[in-house]
Amino acid sequence: MVRLFLLICCLGVMIKVQGQEQQTKVETLLKLSKTNDVIRLTAESFKKYVVEQSRQYIIIVFFSSRVYKSECPSCQALEQIFNEIAYSYKILGHTKPKDQNENKAKPVFFAYLDFSQETQNIYQKFGFYNIPNIYVSTKSFTEDSASYSIDRSKLWEYGNGREIISQKILDFINKNTERDVKIQKSLIETLLPLAIVFTILSLIFALVYFIKNNLNNPKLWWFGCSIIYFICMAGVVYDIIHSSTLIGVDPETGEDEFIAAGPRSQYVLEGFAMSFLISLGGLGLILLNSTAHYQNSWLMRLVGIFSLLLIYYSIYQISFAYNYKSSWYTPSFDPPSHYIKGGLIADQGNSF
């Protein structure tokens, strides 16, 4: 009987201590999240706040790397979305503890675990091959030397075919935290698109105002049009959308590569260099035409020959670069040998 009493006392003390520990953890996390929407974790704090027992909160961990961030557009994209979601949860009061034990009432914290030598082991135990990843930890889990016993349905792993779409990430987190949070934008973010539009409009008006006396100057029109032509021919939109690099690396030799293989891809520098050559050829032709006004016939010859050389150089370089990109591009005056076969005469009787 005494033993039973002592056991109950011990259990009571343990529960109280655990409760206090839980309380302390929530308070610490709450304090940390006040300064940053996303809490930075170390290997030690990861173990304490994510792996170990005794807690009454949900913690969502974003696995990424600061060192490789610049080479990982997906990490950048997901980090931005993750930060937005963390901000939205915080602003809507989901980080505050409530008196209920259900998942949907537990406070939700957002954390970031950077890949480093110290945290490498954690990444391995999760079995990650890629970054970025997200894990929604609703309860503590056990670990052995090789892995964690985690619920993989709460794991968002980046890989081939997985899209980083704001709404999908939010849905995944909402589903696992049992909430229906919508993205909340800060005042600055709300006003930013409007500010961009007004700035662009103001700049246009300012430009028009400053050049109003030259607005009827055809040379100015031509200059403006040429700039647009140059930028468009460089495939700038392609570069932006595909996040093209300035130059590439040859996968076989590892050396710098200036011209991307295949006609449907390009590097930034390549696009601008080719657009420059195209414009150079055009300028050569304009220069050639302008010699008509020269009084000195030798100067005319000199500038004329120089213009012709410019034109020849530009078309030669453009053709050479295109041939390099597309090995199958072999235009010739003679028809290819397989043309002598003629039309498709034996059509297997399927003519409709």
Partner 1 sequence: MESRVKGLLESWSPVFRIIILAMICVLSVLIRVFSVIRFESIIHEFDPWFNFRTTKYLTERGVYAFWNWFDAESWFPLGRAVGGTIYPGIMLTAGLIHSSLHTLGFPVDIRNVCVFLAPGFAALTSLAGYFLTKEVTGRSEAGLYAALFVGIVPSYISRSVAGSYDNEGVAIFALVFTFYLYIKSVNTGSLLWSAAASLSFFYMVAAWGGYAFIINIIPIFVVGSVLIGKFTTNLYVSYCSFYILGSLLAMQIPFVGTQVVTSSEHLASHAVFVFLQIYVLGDWIKERAGEAKFKFLIKLLVTSAVSLVVVASLYMTLSGKMKWSGRSMSLLDPTYAKKFIPIIASVSEHQPTTWSSFFFDLHFLTVFAPVGLYFCLIEHNPGKLFVAGYGILAVYFACVMVRLLLVLAPAVCILSAIGLSETLHRFTRHIKNYKEWAVYLSSKPADKKPKPEYGYPLELALIVIGLVGFMSIYYINHCVWVAAEAYSSPTVIMASKGYNGERRIIDDYREAYYWLRMNTAQDARIMSWWDYGYQITGFSNRTVMVDNNTWNNTHIATMGMIFGSNEEVAAQNLRKIDANYVLVIFGGLSYYSGDDINKFLWMIRIAAGVFPQIKEEDYLNRGQYRIDSGMTETMKNSLMYRLCYYRFGEVQGHNQGSGFDVVRHAEIGEKNIKLRQFREVFTSEHWIVRIYKVLPEENRDMIKPRSTYTSKNKEMKEAGLTKINLSQN
Site for partner 1 in 314-333 (CB under 8 A): 314-315, 318, 322, 325-326, 329-333
Residue 53 CB, nearest approach to partner 1 (Å): 29
Give the C-alpha separation, 124 to 225, whole Å. Answer: 55
Closest to partner 1 by CB, 141 or 306 = 306
Among 7, 15, 206, 232, binds partner 1 (CB under 8 A): 232
Give dist(CA 62, CA 40) in Å, integer.
Answer: 10
Residue closer to partner 1, measured from CB, 19 or 73: 73
Phi, psi (deg, nearest 5) at residue 21: -60, -45
Bridge partners (DSSP) of residue 135 are 61, 155
What φ, ψ does residue 32 adopt, rounded to 5°? Answer: -65, -40
Q: Does the footprint of partner 1 cover residue 270 (CB under 8 A)? A: yes
- By C-beta, is 51 or 164 nearer to partner 1? 164
Of 10, 40, 206, 222, the residue at the interface with partner 1 (CB under 8 A) is 222
User: Is 135 a binder of partner 1 (CB under 8 A)?
Assistant: no
Residues 155 to 184 in contact with partner 1, rule: CB under 8 A: 157-167
Least Å distance, CB 156 to partner 1, is 9
DSSP state of 335: P
Does 146 bind partner 1 (CB under 8 A)? Our answer is: no
How far is C-alpha 54 from the geometric centre of its chain's CA atoms?
A: 37
Helices vs strands, H then E, count in the chain: 10, 7
Separation CA 350–CA 304 (nearest Å)? 60
* DSSP H helices in the chain: 2-35, 43-46, 73-91, 120-126, 166-177, 187-210, 218-233, 236-241, 268-290, 297-325
Tell me the number of residues near partner 1 by CB under 8 A: 96
Please tell me whether residue 188 binds partner 1 under the rule CB under 8 A: no
* Interface residue with partner 1, options 4, 188, 194, 210 (CB under 8 A): 194
Give the residue from 258, 285, 289 showing the smallest Cα distance to 274: 258
- Give the nearer residue to partner 1 in terms of CB position, either 36 or 166: 166
Q: Please give the residues from 235 up to 254 whose contact with partner 1 meets the rule CB under 8 A.
A: 235-238, 240-243
Check residue 159 and give left, alpha or beta (phi > 0: left; psi -120 to 50: alpha).
beta
Contact mark string toward partner 1, 55..84, x via CB under 8 A: ----------------------x-------
* Stretch 16-45 residues interacting with partner 1 (CB under 8 A): none
